[in-house]
Amino acid sequence: MALLSPRLHRFRLTKLHHVSASKPTKTTKLTLRKKARCCSAIAIDAPSSLTGAAGIRWGSTTLQGLREEMEDDAVVWSDGFNDFLFAAVFDGHGGYSSVKFLREELYKDCVAALQGGLLLNGGDFEVIKAALEKAFDDTDKRLLLLLEAAGEEDESGATATVAFIRNDVLFISHLGDSCVVLSRSGGAQVLTSSHRPYGNNSTSLQEIRRIREAGGWIVNGRICGDISVSRAFGDIRFKTKKSEMLQKGVEEGRWSEKFISRVQFNGDLVTASPEIFQVTLGSNAEFVLMASDGLWDYMNSSDAVGFVRNELRQHGDVQLACEALAQAALDKGSQDNISIIMADLGRTDWQNLPLQQDNVIFELAQAFATIGLVSLGIWWASSSFSL
């Protein structure tokens, strides 16, 4: 990722049928309060909440934050997949070029592989899984050819989290460290895991084992002491240019000729193979929240869901809720790019939803328990004094 800057930046772009953040121009503004703009085929009552497939309202925002460059992007397409909404969050590193390629080409490859949504409507998970794996692999191969043509000037890469959303079902194709969260009756259900070469969770341990079996090593939570995500598009030096990466490390004094003579690679250290999930959206499903790690590294899923629900209670505007959530992450100290997409499934009457409805029973029980403990303490103190 890029180095930090004392300036705050914000990027905005409007385009019919999809919202996307392109590479921004630098600015000297110090506030991020202005709206990100987003557009869709059909507008509804709330001025910046937008609707696509089957009445799903969506909003999207991207913030550059304190970074020197904007390497994130968020894309929503309301057409191309029949009844499904296509939403994708990209988190780039080493430059924006990989993200710029992915924001158009991954969508096209998914349309082709899924036969314009026919496979999604068919509902055969194994068929859908194979199609999405092919789409991701085809996109990565074409991106690597582009990066190879650019030579050593471009070593960029990008994570990608893609969701195909219909009001009753959700398909996710995910690689990297962005995250998808589903709000069910106010509870936060985390649907993806971060692909990082550090940590003690099962996903991280599997990634560490895969990297080592491929001949790689990990230093301070980074592959070969370099990159902190283990699945991504691009990153040519960890795929087709591994030998060149080793030699460059010698030239830079990062390791010795003797060290690289013992290295034997058996596969890609960074892979573009996605994890794919199918999630049934029942009557208690409220909204889907997708975001890059610029949000999740500073706000946990429960806090994010609670924040969005309170925003929607106040005004019901999905776009405004997205923007407020991104600003909240900045207020909590996020210094990374932030990209957020939210899809309201249209099941919840936000204006008539009581404040903290999902916590009433818990809070009531907690209050009675507190009263009981206080009463017990008073009784014990009184008894001791009498004695």
User: Is pLDDT above 70 for 236?
Assistant: yes
Q: Do 172 and 218 have their domain in common?
A: no
Q: Do 20 and 110 have their domain in common?
A: yes
When pLDDT is cut at 50, 70 and 90, the band that residue 375 belongs to is: low
Residues of the chain above pLDDT 90, percent: 71
Q: Do 159 and 261 have their domain in common?
A: no
When pLDDT is cut at 50, 70 and 90, the band that residue 153 belongs to is: confident
The predicted structure's pLDDT at residue 291: 98
**Which tokens belong to 85?**
């909404």
Q: Do 250 and 296 have their domain in common?
A: no
Query: Is residue 28 a part of any domain in this protein?
Result: yes
Query: What does the pLDDT average to over 176-196?
Result: 97
Query: Is residue 163 a part of any domain in this protein?
Result: yes
Q: Do 184 and 213 have their domain in common?
A: no
Compute CA 203 distance to the chain's CA centroid, rounded to the nearest angstrom.
16
Query: Is residue 300 a part of any domain in this protein?
Result: yes
CATH number at residue 14: 3.60.40.10
User: Is pLDDT above 90 for 68?
Assistant: no
Query: Is residue 369 a part of any domain in this protein?
Result: no
User: Is pLDDT above 60 for 42?
Assistant: no
In angstroms, rounded to a whole number, what is the distance separating the alpha carbons of residues 371 and 369? 5
The predicted structure's pLDDT at residue 369: 53
Longest CA pairwise span in the chain (Å): 89
pLDDT tens readout for residues 334-373: 999 999 999 999 999 998 887 654 444 444 444 555 455 4
Query: Is residue 121 a part of any domain in this protein?
Result: yes
Q: Do 169 and 282 have their domain in common?
A: yes
Query: What does the pLDDT average to over 177-181?
Result: 97
In angstroms, rounded to a whole number, what is the distance separating the alpha carbons of residues 136 and 174? 10
Alpha-helical regions (H) of 202-300 = 202-213, 242-251, 257-261, 293-296
The predicted structure's pLDDT at residue 91: 97
The predicted structure's pLDDT at residue 357: 46
Total-model pTM: 0.80
The predicted structure's pLDDT at residue 28: 27
What is the residue-averaged pLDDT of the chain? 83
User: Is pLDDT above 70 for 173?
Assistant: yes
The predicted structure's pLDDT at residue 51: 56
> How many Cβ atoms are within 10 Å of 134's Cβ, its own excluded?
15
Q: Do 143 and 36 have their domain in common?
A: yes
Query: What does the pLDDT average to over 33-60?
Result: 51
Query: Is residue 384 a part of any domain in this protein?
Result: no
Domain that holds residue 293: 4-194+274-359
Whether the Cβ atoms of residue 98 and residue 107 lie closer than 8 Å to each other = no
Query: What does the pLDDT average to over 274-303?
Result: 96
**Which tokens belong to 381?**
């103190």
The predicted structure's pLDDT at residue 374: 45
Query: What does the pLDDT average to over 40-59?
Result: 54
User: Is pLDDT above 80 for 18?
Assistant: no
User: Who wins on pLDDT, 22 or 174?
Assistant: 174
Least confident range of 35-39, 86-90, 163-167, 325-329: 35-39
Structural domain count of the chain: 2
Q: Do 258 and 289 have their domain in common?
A: no
Of 269, 284, 316, the position where a domain reaches its end is 269
Q: Do 132 and 17 have their domain in common?
A: yes
Q: Do 200 and 185 have their domain in common?
A: no
Whether the Cβ atoms of residue 346 and residue 56 lie closer than 8 Å to each other = yes
Q: Do 314 and 343 have their domain in common?
A: yes
The predicted structure's pLDDT at residue 63: 93
User: Is pLDDT above 70 for 245?
Assistant: yes
User: Is pLDDT above 70 for 11?
Assistant: no
- Which span out of 17-21, 146-150, 151-155, 178-182 was modeled with the highest average pLDDT? 178-182
The predicted structure's pLDDT at residue 178: 97
Q: Do 255 and 281 have their domain in common?
A: no
Query: Is residue 367 a part of any domain in this protein?
Result: no
Query: Is residue 103 a part of any domain in this protein?
Result: yes
> How many Cβ atoms are within 10 Å of 247's Cβ, its own excluded?
13
The predicted structure's pLDDT at residue 362: 42
